Amino acid sequence: MIKLLRYLEPYQWLLVLILILAVGQSAANLYLPNLMADIVNKGIASYNTGFIWQTGLIMTVVAVGGTVCAIIGVYFSSRVATGMCKTLRDEIFNKVANFSLHEFDVISTASLITRTTNDTAQIQQVMVMVLGLLITAPLTLVVGVIMALKQDVGLSWILVTIIPVLVTVILLLLVKAVPLFTVMQVKLDKLNLILDENLTGVRVVRAFNRIKHEEKKFDLANLDVTNVAIKVNQLVASMMPVMMLLINVSSVAIIWFGSKRVAGGTLQIGAMFAFLQYAAQILFSLLMVAMMFIMIPRAEASANRINEILDMEPEIKDPKSTKKVSAKKGYIQFDKVTFSYHNAEKPALSDISFSCTPGKVTAIIGGTGSGKSTLVNLIPRFYDVQKGRIMIDGTDVREISQDDLRAKIGFVPQKAILFSGTINNNLRYGKENATESEIKQAAKIAQASEFISKMPNGFESMISQGGTNVSGGQMQRLSIARALVRKPEIYVFDDTFSALDFITDAKLRASLKAETKEATVIIVAQRVSTVIDADQIIVLDDGKIVGIGKHKELMKSCEVYRGIVSSQLSAAEIEGENK
């Protein structure tokens, strides 16, 4: 929590103002009972109407002044708290935007969302409260006691007895409630995770008739959150009546013992009333302090979760001094690369060496889970290798700034992702200033022109969230067009063509050839027909290269490759190929 206070810095002057207003508000509140005692003692007792009017007028002014201070104070406190939380959300978002994929493996998306929304809201709530009470409560407490004693020392034993009781009650509740707050946020994470999974996986849930099952799962998580929330709220809610009881008991005690002293002539009736009001103010501010102590641990739990993100050092960072690589080339070299995912038992890739040159097509083929996606994810440095190195244009990828590195690469991921917005916006994603004709050209090469022109608004048609209003193959083609618009030096297609029918696949690759004549192209594929005419084919098996060469060479030398080919092409086709 303390660490997050640095985000208050821009509001220094507002904070000073809030402080002054708080002092004004407390001063007014504390002065009023005093004036009232005067009216009773000096005005009413001696039938001095002038004095009553005069003091009454002062009371009105003081009361109005105090209220105005309170209103302005709350206004600015809210401004500061909401402003601070906006900054906080921005900071989290910026941090997360710079996460490498490893961090996403560690903290779930659901948790990131809870932290950006719910946790910051907790902080905001407590900030409003703290800003409102930080000055007023302690001030009222201390000055209230002094003022009460000035009215009458004889009744002070009532305060002396009641305050420790009150503090004990508060402490007891705190000890019970605080651990629950952390639990609460974790359960919320869980709930969000289930919700998130269900929304993205809605088709699977339907297709497998798992709606009931998912409902039950959600119900359980929901109940979990509810139970904790009930416990917490019961505790917090039980505080109020206990406090009110204590305050009322003390009021009765003050009137009881006070009126005895008034009857005895040792205490003026006005002083008794003033004492009564001071006691109420003191106990009430104690109550508020208690509330604050309950809210703070809750915010503390949230603050810790936020700090966890803000303190996270992305595994992949730009080096202090980045090397500039020559603007245009596209040489890629893998040099004895070994890579394992965190917590993985065995490396996903081991001892990978090969190189790609501009103008040539490198195809990567292998069974599922053989490490093809992992391999191409290393090129834009989504992950860092453990052993060996990857060189782009002669420079280690870890020595190039991520921006420079990625500007060289047109990456088409295995899972096509589009953003909600128009097709035009989506294609411009990698190059905002692309011209109309560049966009059209890219769409044409990617074999997307036809279906785009059939859409109601052509290039201005809207893609819905997650791209659900276009088919998988169409999404893939848009994702290819998006990479083409960029005109990069290196193209990476991660299993992009498998979602296309054979004819589109062939057409697309033919038109790609012309477009990517000078570029380095890496194609990950499952179909032999996609890779057959590549300049070099890399055969991956279980994270290792088991063959590298042209189709014909591999047919002779590589057992795994032969296996893949024979499983896909008919004997006659293989025969024809070999001739």
Binding site for ligand ADP (CB under 6 A): 105, 341, 344, 348, 366, 368-374
CB of 414 to Mg ion, least distance (A): 5
Which residue, 297 or 366, is less far from ligand ADP as judged by CB? 366
CB of 245 to ligand ADP, least distance (A): 57
Binding flag, residue 373, Mg ion (CB under 5 A): yes
Residue 557 contacts by C-beta under 8 Å, 6 or more apart in sequence?
Answer: 547, 549
Angle at 140 between CA 136 and CA 144, to 5 degrees: 170
Which residue, 372 or 398, is less far from Mg ion as judged by CB? 372
Which residue, 267 or 376, is less far from Mg ion as judged by CB? 376
What's the rounded Cα separation, in Å, for the pair 551 and 159? 93
Tokens standing for 35? 């004036």
567 touches which of Mg ion, ligand ADP, none (CB within 5 to 8 A by kind)? none
371 touches which of Mg ion, ligand ADP, none (CB within 5 to 8 A by kind)? ligand ADP
CB of 340 to ligand ADP, least distance (A): 8
Which residue, 270 or 366, is less far from ligand ADP as judged by CB? 366
Residue 188 contacts by C-beta under 8 Å, 6 or more apart in sequence?
Answer: 114, 118, 225
Which residue, 41 or 414, is less far from Mg ion as judged by CB? 414
Nearest 10 degrees: Cα torsion 274, 70, 139, 39: -20
CB of 538 to Mg ion, least distance (A): 14
Task: Give Dmax over CA atoms of the chain in angstroms.
Answer: 126
Which residue, 258 or 371, is less far from Mg ion as judged by CB? 371
Residue 95 contacts by C-beta under 8 Å, 6 or more apart in sequence?
Answer: 309, 310, 312
24 touches which of Mg ion, ligand ADP, none (CB within 5 to 8 A by kind)? none
Residue with tokens 């280690």: 396
344 touches which of ligand ADP, Mg ion, none (CB within 5 to 8 A by kind)? ligand ADP
Which residue, 133 or 538, is less far from ligand ADP as judged by CB? 538
Residue 575 contacts by C-beta under 8 Å, 6 or more apart in sequence?
Answer: none
Give, in order, the Cα–Cα distances in Å from 227 to each of 109, 178, 219: 24, 15, 12
CB of 568 to ligand ADP, least distance (A): 16
Which residue, 25 or 370, is less far from ligand ADP as judged by CB? 370
β-bridge mates for residue 421, sequence order: 463
Angle at 419 between CA 484 and CA 480, to 5 degrees: 20
Which residue, 100 or 529, is less far from ligand ADP as judged by CB? 100
Whether 446 and 484 have beta carbons less than 8 Å apart is answered as yes
Residues in the chain: 579
Helix or strand run (H / E) with residue 70:
helix 49-97
250 touches which of ligand ADP, Mg ion, none (CB within 5 to 8 A by kind)? none
Dihedral sign, Cα of residue 249, residue 255, residue 261, residue 263: negative
SS3 361: strand
Which residue, 306 or 375, is less far from ligand ADP as judged by CB? 375
Tokens standing for 563? 């296996």
CB of 204 to ligand ADP, least distance (A): 19
CB of 229 to ligand ADP, least distance (A): 34
Stretch that binds Mg ion, among 25-33, 271-279, 408-416, 551-559 (CB under 5 A): 408-416
- DSSP letter (8 states) at residue 9: G
What's the rounded Cα separation, in Å, for the pair 442 and 561? 33
Q: Count CA atoms closer than 13 A to 521's CA, side-chain side.
A: 29
374 touches which of ligand ADP, Mg ion, none (CB within 5 to 8 A by kind)? ligand ADP
341 touches which of Mg ion, ligand ADP, none (CB within 5 to 8 A by kind)? ligand ADP
Task: Give the phi and the psi of residue 506 in degrees, each rounded to 5.
Answer: -65, -45
What's the rounded Cα separation, in Å, for the pair 483 and 478? 9
CB of 200 to Mg ion, least distance (A): 19
Dihedral sign, Cα of residue 70, residue 75, residue 78, residue 84: negative
Which residue, 184 or 540, is less far from Mg ion as judged by CB? 540
Which residue, 277 or 374, is less far from ligand ADP as judged by CB? 374
Helix or strand run (H / E) with residue 491:
strand 490-494
CB of 449 to Mg ion, least distance (A): 28
Angle at 142 between CA 138 and CA 148, to 5 degrees: 135
366 touches which of Mg ion, ligand ADP, none (CB within 5 to 8 A by kind)? ligand ADP
Which residue, 469 or 526, is less far from Mg ion as judged by CB? 526
Residue 291 contacts by C-beta under 8 Å, 6 or more apart in sequence?
Answer: 129, 133, 239
CB of 472 to ligand ADP, least distance (A): 17
369 touches which of ligand ADP, Mg ion, none (CB within 5 to 8 A by kind)? ligand ADP
Give, in order, the Cα–Cα distances in Å from 252 to each of 19, 168, 170, 249, 446: 34, 21, 22, 5, 84
CB of 319 to Mg ion, least distance (A): 29
CB of 413 to ligand ADP, least distance (A): 11
Whether 378 and 390 have beta carbons less than 8 Å apart is answered as yes
CB of 349 to Mg ion, least distance (A): 12
Binding site for Mg ion (CB under 5 A): 372-373, 414
